[in-house]
């Protein structure tokens, strides 16, 4: 946290460590199909990220070399899960996980199951209420992370050569993920406070690099909207949230990322 404001992060973990720097600025806003809205400030996202990291590191004793299967839907709870996994040095796999890399932990939607000894169900609730559809061998995400510390501790990895994600196309290093986020972030940074309205899924690595991570790089806000919201509703959200760009949807007057 010693870099001057505006300095380019040198690593993925440095980028994650700076999330709480502007504590009161919204970094993530989610709009659901039913009209619910959730806003996370930099401080809130940093605290939730620290809690996920604490769950992984302190309770489950996981770290570099371990694999996290992240199969939960795009939403505000997915953000601290991904950031907490990478702060702890875990390798993330998604829907296209390659064979031969069994996960130590999984984060799933209600009703889903994964081949991992430790599984956490994300409710997707706008206020983080516990999930109600949790199997006997699973745990509710909210209940598990809330008791964890708000302090993240030191990042488990340094540099960028470690494997941040594995996909069917091959491994993705932390440096490669950061460069992809910076490329998208540079397009957003033409606005002083960029606001990206997105309906794009946070697939790993491409989707999350061009949405959440890109906005963190650019010092902006990602407004994540349910893909099934009607066009007029999305246009209204774009106006009310003062969007400066879009991805996954076209809105008149806004440049696509």
**pLDDT per residue over 143-200, tens digit each?**
999 999 999 999 999 999 999 999 999 999 999 999 999 999 999 987 789 999 999 9
Is residue 5 included in any domain, yes or no? no
Give mean pLDDT, residues 19-31. 94
Percentage of the chain modeled with pLDDT above 70: 97
Residue 173 gets which letter from DSSP?
E
Cα angle for residues 96, 101, 105 (degrees, 5° grid): 85
Does some domain include residue 2? no
Structure tokens at 116: 């991992």
- Within a domain: residue 135? yes
At 119 the pLDDT is 98
3-state DSSP assignment of residue 164? strand
| Host domain of residue 189 | 12-256
Q: Is 96 part of any domain?
A: yes
Mean pLDDT of 19-33: 94
Mean pLDDT of the chain: 94
Specify if 40 maps to a domain: yes
The sheet with strand 255-256 has its strands ordered as 37-41, 26-31, 221-225, 195-198, 245-247, 255-256
Q: Which residue has the higher pLDDT, 22 or 17?
A: 17
Does residue 148 form part of some domain? yes
- Higher-pLDDT residue of 99 and 247 is 247
Residue whose pair of structure tokens reads 């300095």 in the numeric block? 7
CATH number for the domain spanning 245: value is 3.40.50.12780
Of the candidates 46, 66, 62, the one whose C-alpha atom is nearest the C-alpha of residue 164 is 66
pLDDT score of 198: 98
Residue 33 forms part of a structural domain? yes
8 Å CB contact between 39 and 26: yes
> In the chain, how many domains are there?
1
For range 89-117, the mean pLDDT:
92
Whether 105 is covered by a domain: the verdict is yes
pLDDT at 85: 98
pLDDT of 6 reads 52
- Segment 185-242, tens digit of pLDDT: 999 987 789 999 999 999 999 999 999 999 999 999 999 999 999 999 999 999 999 9
């Amino acid at each position: 946290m010693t870099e001057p404001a505006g300095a380019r992060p040198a690593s993925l973990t440095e980028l994650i460590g700076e999330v709480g720097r502007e504590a009161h600025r919204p970094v993530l806003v989610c709009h659901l199909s039913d009209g619910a809205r959730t806003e996370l400030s930099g401080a809130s996202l940093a605290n939730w990220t620290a809690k996920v990291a604490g769950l992984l590191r302190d309770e489950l004793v996981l770290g570099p070399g371990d694999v996290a299967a992240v199969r939960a839907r795009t939403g505000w709870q997915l953000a601290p899960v991904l950031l907490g996994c990478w702060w702890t040095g875990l390798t993330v796999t998604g829907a296209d996980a390659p064979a031969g890399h069994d996960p130590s932990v999984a984060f799933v939607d209600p009703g889903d199951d994964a081949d991992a000894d430790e599984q956490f169900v994300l409710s997707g609730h706008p206020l983080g209420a516990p999930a109600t559809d949790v199997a006997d061998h699973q745990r509710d995400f909210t209940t598990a992370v809330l008791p964890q510390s708000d302090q993240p501790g030191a990042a488990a990895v340094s540099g960028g050569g470690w494997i941040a994600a594995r996909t069917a196309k091959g491994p993705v290093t932390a440096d490669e993920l950061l460069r992809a986020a910076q490329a998208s972030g540079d397009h957003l940074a033409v606005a002083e406070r960029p606001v990206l309205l997105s309906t794009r899924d946070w697939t790993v690595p491409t989707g999350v690099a061009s949405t959440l991570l890109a906005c963190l790089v650019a010092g902006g806000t990602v407004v994540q909207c349910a893909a099934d919201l009607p066009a007029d509703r999305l246009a209204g959200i774009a106006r009310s949230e003062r969007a400066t760009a879009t991805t996954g949807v076209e809105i008149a007057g806004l440049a696509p990322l």
